[in-house]
Amino acid sequence: MIALLLRDLRLAVRAGGGFGLGLAFFLIVVVLVPLGVGPETALLSRIAPGILWIGALLACLLSLDRIFALDREDGTLDLLATAPLPMEGIAAVKALAHWITTGLPLVLAAPVLGVLLNLPAGGFAWLFLSLLLGTPALSVIGTFGAALTVGLKRGGLLLSLLVLPLYVPTLIFGAEVARRGAEGLAVEAPLLLLAGVSLGALALLPFASAAVLRVTLR
């Protein structure tokens, strides 16, 4: 399992692995929003938590189809399926690799980009924490979606259609934590719910992804 994780990480960091792509996309979204809604600081600081969450979510979505597509093309996935490793483990490791290469950089970059959007000073810690709790869920749910569409020729658009509705609870609770944090309100309730959604997704979805992979490779 660790070998598989290291291999995925190495592949992602290598040139052409698309490591920085998600980050660049995140940056572009954050730059485009003020251009679209106007440079008014008060407005920007009010919508900053939501924008940052949506930006992170879309950046996450961008790299999902890579999770299984390349492995499927060169046959690695078939080899992995015959390996002694359980399919659930493979799905979990793939999700973890996706989170380390996409989710974690986004979490680290979000506070920096928050400066661009005039995020209130109290909000930085909560934004960071909510993304840290929420992005793993985005990765596991995304892995499930990627597994569903791996066998399809043009799965890219379908992948977004399948995954985005599943992102709704995470987005709502996550953005709520960041917003309340920025406004100095109590954040315990959404924070606990966000953590609950993430942990539930982490615990259950690898099984669903594994079931899907078994069907696809049949």
Partner 1 sequence: MSLWEYANPVRFIRFTDRVLPPLAVLAVVCLVVGLIWGFFFTPDDYRQGSTVKIIYLHVPATLMAINAWLMMLVASIIWIVRRHHVSALAARAAAPVGATMTVIALATGAIWGQPMWGTWWAWDPRLTSFLILFLFYLGYMALWEAIENDDTAADLTSILCLVGSVFALLSRYAVNFWNQGLHQGASLSLDKEENVADVFYFPLLVCIAGFVLLFVALVFLRTQTEIRARRTRALIARERAA
DSSP code at position 103: I
Q: Please state, in angstroms and rounded to a whole number, the distance separating the CA atoms of residues 122 and 23.
A: 24
Least CB distance to partner 1 at residue 31 (A)? 27
Contact 53, 26 (CB under 8 A): no
Least CB distance to partner 1 at residue 211 (A)? 6
169 binds partner 1 (CB under 8 A): yes
Least CB distance to partner 1 at residue 33 (A)? 19
Give the position of tokens 């950046």.
59
Give the position of tokens 């099984």.
207
216 binds partner 1 (CB under 8 A): yes
Nearer to partner 1 (CB atom), residue 122 or residue 200: 200
CA 170, chain centre distance (Å): 10
144 binds partner 1 (CB under 8 A): yes
E strands in 123-188: none
176 binds partner 1 (CB under 8 A): yes
Q: Please state, in angstroms and rounded to a whole number, the distance separating the CA atoms of residues 70 and 186.
A: 44
* Contact footprint for partner 1 (CB under 8 A): 144, 148-149, 151-152, 154-155, 158, 161-162, 164-166, 168-169, 172-173, 176, 189-190, 193, 197, 204-205, 208, 211-212, 215-216, 218
